[in-house]
Amino acid sequence: MESVMRVMSKMTGKSDEELKEMMKRELDEMELEVSAMKLLLLEKKEKLEVEEKGKGKGKGKKAKVSVSEEAQEASEASVSVEAHEASEASVSMKETKAKETKASKANAEKAKAEKEEKAVKAKAEKEEKAAKAKAEKEEKAAKAKAEKEEKAAKANAEKEEKAAKAKKEPKAKKETAKKEPKAKKEENELEREPKEAIPEDESEAEEVEVEEIEHDGVKYLKAVSTGIVYDMETSEEVGRWNDETKSIEVE
């Protein structure tokens, strides 16, 4: 009964108290109808009894039987009305319960569908975020790698350029030295041992101890005590040897 009341409350939008009051009114109306029918039957019975007094006994017996039959018919009609109304109420309760079950099932299916939809949406968003983060990470890694390779290539190119430049200069000087006459080469070989530089003016000549050195593919004579560098062929002063920079400084 409580479930029926809940369903009727949902369908009509009325509270339990309002529904009870409504049902009570309907029952009261039914009781009034039955009471009215009983009252009519009693009035008819009394009327027939009055008429019966003025007639014979046979007629009176016949009227009495007629009144009894009418009372029985009224009683049966009342019972039939009540049974019909009860049947309708039962059918209404069954229909209401079926509707309630159907609505409950529909709500459950709807809730399930919404839950699944949310789960699918959440999974898709999670996968999208993961893919985006992975793409950003790979992009950063690729960018860093490209920058590193670019720097390495640049440094390697500079290094090769310097090496080629440094290699080119000594080679040019070396090729120039190779072009010297063979006699000069033999003469230079004989002069590898330390010897004295001979000034132009022999009257002012002083003995200077020298040693042979090679710079940028060219051979020179260097004074041991002063570090002055002389041309090996002409004995002319070229400059002064710097031990720190390993180069000839022209004064």
Torsion-angle region of 241 (φ positive above 0: left; ψ -120 to 50: alpha; else: beta): beta
Q: What is the mean pLDDT of residues 25-29?
A: 87
pLDDT score at 221: 92
Per-residue pLDDT band for 162 (boundaries 50, 70, 90) equals confident
For residues 248 and 228, the answer to whether their CB atoms sit within 8 Å is no
Per-residue pLDDT band for 167 (boundaries 50, 70, 90) equals low
Q: Give the span between the Cα atoms of 26 and 15, in whole angstroms.
A: 17
Give the DSSP H or E segment for 241.
strand 237-242
Strand partners, 222: 211, 229
Q: Is 19 exposed, middle or buried (0-12, 13-18, 19+ CB in 10 A)?
A: middle
Q: Token digits for 142?
A: 């690729």
pLDDT score at 86: 62
Per-residue pLDDT band for 47 (boundaries 50, 70, 90) equals confident
* Cβ atoms within 10 Å, residue 198: 12
The more confidently predicted of residues 49 and 123 is: 123
